A = this chain, B = another copy of it.
Amino acid sequence: LGLMEKRQRTAAKDNGDGTALERVKQVQDQLEEINDEAATAVLQIQSSANAKRAPVYESRKTAIASVPGFWKRALMGHPWLADIITDQDECILSYLTELTVEENADVKSGYRIALAFDVNPLFHNSVIEKRLSWHEGGELTMQTTPMSWKPGQDPLALSGDSAVGGGEDKKRSFEQLTVEEGQRLPLFLLTLLNDELHDTEAGDSDEPSAAGAETEAICDAIKDEVWPEPLKYYQDFEDIAPPADDAAP
């Protein structure tokens, strides 16, 4: 019996770390449960706050409709977006009549941004919608309304050899633009339209592309900053904008 006891003790000791770790694991599982509960409760609050905000956002839409150029000025008053908005964007944004952000009901899974435009010289779309979707495992995909460019206005179109072939325009990727072209283009709009989050050229297709990262950053700035507090940026705009007469000497 004494020997038996001794053997059992030795076994327990040999197994000491394993058992203690098992105990840590069990406690950790309890923590996980509390964390999950809290996370669910936070999601519920966010989703219920979204429901409360919805009608107020509707009233805001009506109020904003009476202030011409409101969203253009709000976007251009955002310190970081202001840096991306080129003269060409500014011209296009003059046709922007409405900006809307809607989070998915299950907040974490994504959101959409909708930009409504007046008749304009570049495209036929009256609304450009951008959807960001986070999938299981955290992967992000983006989807933009197909653009219906007016003839000769698609900045990414390469005129095909129309005399020989069917005259179909070939598309190139946003990344293929040269710097000089970029300076003459609506970079803000093009970045927003870009849906390529990953560098498809690179061997590792999970490699995030620079343009993809910038697109995500623009969308997040619109969703998290401009949309909740447009008035702040609208009012900041005058501080940022150079005086109208500030032409180069």
Q: Which residues of A contact B (CB under 8 A)?
A: 16-17, 20-21, 23-28, 30-31, 34-35, 37-38, 41-42, 45-46, 48-49, 52-53, 56-57, 59-60, 63-64, 66-68, 70, 228-231
Contact = CB atoms under 8 A, between A and B. Distances in A.
Contacts of A46: 38, 42
A131 B103 CA distance: 37
Nearest to A41: B45
Main secondary structure of the interface of A (DSSP, over half): helix
A158 B174 CA distance: 56
A228 B33 CA distance: 12
Given A17-B68, A42-B42, 6 more contacts: A20-B67, A21-B231, A24-B70, A30-B56, A37-B49, A42-B46
Contacts of A26: 63
19 contacts: A16-B66, A17-B68, A20-B66, A21-B231, A24-B60, A24-B63, A25-B231, A26-B63, A27-B60, A28-B229, A30-B56, A31-B56, A31-B228, A34-B52, A38-B45, A38-B49, A42-B42, A42-B45, A45-B45
Nearest to A235: B21
A110 B63 CA distance: 40
A15 to B, nearest CB: 11
B23 A63 contact: yes
Given A21-B67, A38-B46, A46-B38, A53 B27 contact: no
A153 to B, nearest CB: 32
B27 A49 contact: no
A53 B24 contact: no
Contacts of A59: 27, 30
Nearest to A18: B67
Nearest to A67: B20
A41 B38 CA distance: 11
A232 to B, nearest CB: 9
A45 to B, nearest CB: 5
Contacts of A228: 31, 35
A205 B178 CA distance: 41
